[in-house]
Structures are given as C-alpha cells and as structure tokens.
Amino acid sequence: MKKFEIPQFYRSSFITRIKNARKDLDPRKKDFSPTKLDFGPVRFLLARHFGFCYGVENAIEIAYKTIEENPDKRIFLLSEMIHNPGVNLDLQKLGVKFLMDTTGNHLIDWNELTKEDIVIIPAFGTTLEIERKLNEVGIDPYRYNTTCPFVEKVWNRSEQLGKQNYTVIIHGKHYHEETRATFSHSKTSAPSVIVRDLNEAKILSSFILNERPAEDFYKLFTGKYSEGFDVEKDLERVGVVNQTTMLATETQEIADHLRNIMIKKYGEENLKDHFADTRDTLCYATNDNQESTYGLLQEKADFAIVVGGYNSSNTSHIVELCEEKLPTYFISSEEKIISSSHIKHFDIHSHQEKETFGFIPRKDKVDIILTSGASCPDAVVEAVLRKIHSFFDGAKDIDTLLNEILK
C-alpha cells in the first residue's frame, strides 16, 4: 500500500513501530488481539488497528501539498477535511478557510469565490450539485479532490446497481457529508433511499411486503428518498451500500434482513432477481478498526479510552461497542485528562461533554483499553498514553519497555 507524506507532528515516536511489528507477524490480518504494554502498575491494551486510514492520509497529503505549492492563492475547504478538530485547526492556522460546516450550512457565500481560488474537496467527497456550482464559478472541483477511494468505490457500485435496475438503499446518517455525497451520486442512476439503522430497514420492509399504506413511506422517509421515488415499484429490486464509517456488522444485518424479506415475498429461487449482493462496498479500514475493537473487548480491563473527533462517525461506533462492556471515555486529546482523578469526555447519547471524577480505580494494577478513530493522529494517542502513564509511580519507563518488546 502507498506510503503518504504527512506532517511529522502527526506521527508517533513508537506507535508506527508497534504497527509495523504486528504487520510483520500477521501480514494477512488474522490476529485482532491487542498489543499489551505492561508497565507494572498500569497496563495498556492497544488496539491491533487504529488511527489514520488510507483515505485520511491521502487527504492530508493532498491538502498540505496544495498549501505548499500555492503560497499566493486563497485556499478553501468545502467543509472539515476530516472529522478531527486538531487536523482542521492546523489547516486553518495555515490560512485555509471552510466554505461550509459539516451539515452543509454556508460560512462563506459562493459569490465570494473567484476562478483564481482553490477549493479542496474533503475526504468524504461532495455532491454533484456542489461540483456543478464550483464549475459555474470557474473552479475545477477535481483538481484538488481528496475524496477517499473507498467512498468512490461505493459511488461506482451504486451506479452499477442503477444500470441493473436496482434501487440503492444507503445505510448511513442522512445529514452526514459522505451520505449526502453518496445519495447525490446514486440518485442520478437509480431510485435511492437512506436508512439509518436496522429499525428503519424494518420499516422499509413493511412497505416491501405491502403491510403499510404507500403514502406513509413519504412521511416516514422525508428528505431520505430520491425525487420521483415510487414506493410501489422501486422496492422490487434492491441493493445495499453504506456510509463507509458505519458499523460493518450493522450494514450486514440490514442487508441480511432485506435479503430475507425478498425471499419471503418472491421465494428463494427468485432471489437474484430482487436482491443484489453488495458486500464488496465495506471499507477495509472501518472493518479492521471495528474487528480490532472486538479483539480488545475479549480482554479484561478496568475502562476504555477512545480518542478522536466528537463528530467522527467511525469513532462514535467504536465508543458504542466499548460502552457495551465497560466504562468508556471518549476524548479528543490528552488535554481532556485533567488529572489522575478528573477527565472530561464526550457522551455520544446526549452529545455533550461530561466530567467524571475517580475514573482511574485505586488498585495495584490497572488495565486500560486504548484505541482511536480513523481520523485521529497517532501522536495524539501517544500523548494520551504518556499522560496516563505519568500518574503511576514506579511504572516502567515507556521507551525502555518499547525497546525491549520491539527488538
């Protein structure tokens, strides 16, 4: 896989060494057990896979090269480059301005742009409508395009489904930049509808089985279906794609459920005429990070620390998985760890930051799960580890231990 040139300050002094050592031992990625860093009074269980994925490193490399090569031009990002506050702030400090927020609300009007300006498309991609708008201004939307190749793979699969007369069902959050982009692309070639979760897929199934009046569909899925969608005809042949940062297991549950619904309505012998197998659209990085989280949760631990941007979808899903098993603290950086007894962390349910006191239990040996989302720099994870490590008197020196296990 390609190696990207990203700023050194995003890299860790030791995490890359750990990742490379695990890769050498397990090149086919069959072992999702954590790396165990035992410092005596504290032991960290580090996920097998975490941190910057291919798409994120690609986006960061393009963004920094664009800034370096165009010192005299105004540079804009459509919205956040990735869902990480530190990375976005770094770009803003270099003079990059955001045209929109993550929900699509304008921060800068289109009329303020000129054809001499540069607009970078973020890793989530963008809609065809925005591409047309940039072209009208005289800005090539493809010249500085950092859209993740795995997002583009979903778009290509959606187009294939449309050519085969399937309706595209998108598993995603309808307000998320990536899902808005995927929906924009898919609806040009196929009837399209967005489902948030298995529950919404079950509601959709009730229309497939004619268990609800068709007019209810348009109320229940307002803003989530393509123009001209005919609920009585457009659910006869379906294929499922996803927002690449959603839980892979949930996407598969939705696909399996709809497959069974089609068998129920049309018979297994006719399944291939009504349901398309689209498992090849799942993002490898999201899947690896989620499988690594399951591997972490096989171990006994006192609590979990998950590091990443609070609006990061893939990070939130890792938090969801950890919360099912043990106390979990979702933080954006080491600065949220105020002291050995005080932490500020994000609650994914209330969407607010909370404070917890006494988060590190008083015991002879504390076991801590540590992981991050795909848009979090390894340097931030290292800073979190070092800060927590500093709270334990008598803990083995970090660099000494790493030199022992990474000989």
The whole-number pLDDT of residue 1 equals: 58
> Is a pLDDT exceeding 80 seen at residue 157?
yes
Q: What is the rounded radius of gyration, in angstroms, for the C-alpha atoms of the chain?
A: 23
Annotation marks residue 299 as catalytic? no
> How wide is the angle at C-alpha 259 spanned by C-alphas 257 and 262, nearest 5°?
110
Burial of 392 (0-12, 13-18, 19+ CB in 10 A): middle
> How many residues are there in the chain?
407
Tell which wins on pLDDT, 219 or 83.
219
pLDDT digits over 12-34, tens only?
A: 989 999 999 999 999 999 999 99
In this structure, are residues 283 and 336 in contact, taking their beta carbons and an 8 Å threshold? Answer: no
Axis crossing angle, helix 149-163 with helix 177-186, rounded to the nearest 10: 30
The Cα 127–Cα 182 span in angstroms is 7
Q: Which of 66-70, 77-81, 186-190 is predicted with the least confidence, judged by mean pLDDT? A: 77-81
Q: Which helix (H) or strand (E) is 243 found in, with range?
A: none
The number of angstroms, rounded, from the C-alpha of 30 to the middle of its chain's C-alpha atoms is 22
Q: Report all structural domains of the chain as residue ranges with CATH numbers, in order of start.
A: 8-53+285-405 (3.40.1010.20), 54-137 (3.40.50.11270), 149-282 (3.40.1010.20)
Catalytic residue among 177, 178, 200, 250: 178
Task: Put the strands of the sheet holding 238-242 in their side by side order.
Answer: 192-195, 167-171, 238-242, 275-276
Phi, psi of 330 (to 5 degrees): -95, 110
The Cα 227–Cα 133 span in angstroms is 20
> Is a pLDDT exceeding 80 seen at residue 299?
yes
The Cα 240–Cα 252 span in angstroms is 9
The CB density around residue 332, as the number of other CB atoms within 10 Å, is: 21
The Cα 262–Cα 278 span in angstroms is 15
The Cα 157–Cα 153 span in angstroms is 6
Residues of the chain above pLDDT 90, percent: 89
In this structure, are residues 168 and 186 in contact, taking their beta carbons and an 8 Å threshold? Answer: yes
The whole-number pLDDT of residue 102 equals: 86
The whole-number pLDDT of residue 212 equals: 96
Q: Which residues of 351-374 are buried (b: 16+ CB within 10 A; e: fewer)?
A: eeeeeeeebbeeeeebbbbbbbbb
3-class state of residue 104 by DSSP = coil
pLDDT averaged over every residue in the chain: 94
Question: Which amino acid type is present at position 275?
Answer: F
The whole-number pLDDT of residue 168 equals: 97
Burial of 9 (0-12, 13-18, 19+ CB in 10 A): exposed
pTM (whole model) above 0.85: yes
Task: Give the confidence band of 277 by pLDDT, cuts at 50, 70, 90.
Answer: confident
> How wide is the angle at C-alpha 124 spanned by C-alphas 118 and 125, nearest 5°?
55
pLDDT digits over 221-262, tens only?
A: 999 999 999 999 999 999 999 999 888 889 999 999 999 999
3-class state of residue 19 by DSSP = helix
In this structure, are residues 237 and 167 in contact, taking their beta carbons and an 8 Å threshold? Answer: yes
Q: What is the mean pLDDT of residues 266-277?
A: 95
The Cα 72–Cα 316 span in angstroms is 38
Task: Give the confidence band of 43 by pLDDT, cuts at 50, 70, 90.
Answer: very high
> Is a pLDDT exceeding 90 seen at residue 286?
no
The Cα 140–Cα 298 span in angstroms is 49
Candidates 123, 73, 79; CA nearest to 94 is 73
Which residue stretches of 70-123 are H helix?
A: 85-93
Task: Put the strands of the sheet holding 352-357 in their side by side order.
Answer: 337-339, 342-347, 352-357
The Cα 79–Cα 63 span in angstroms is 13
Phi, psi of 400 (to 5 degrees): -65, -45
> Is a pLDDT exceeding 80 seen at residue 281?
no
The whole-number pLDDT of residue 406 equals: 84
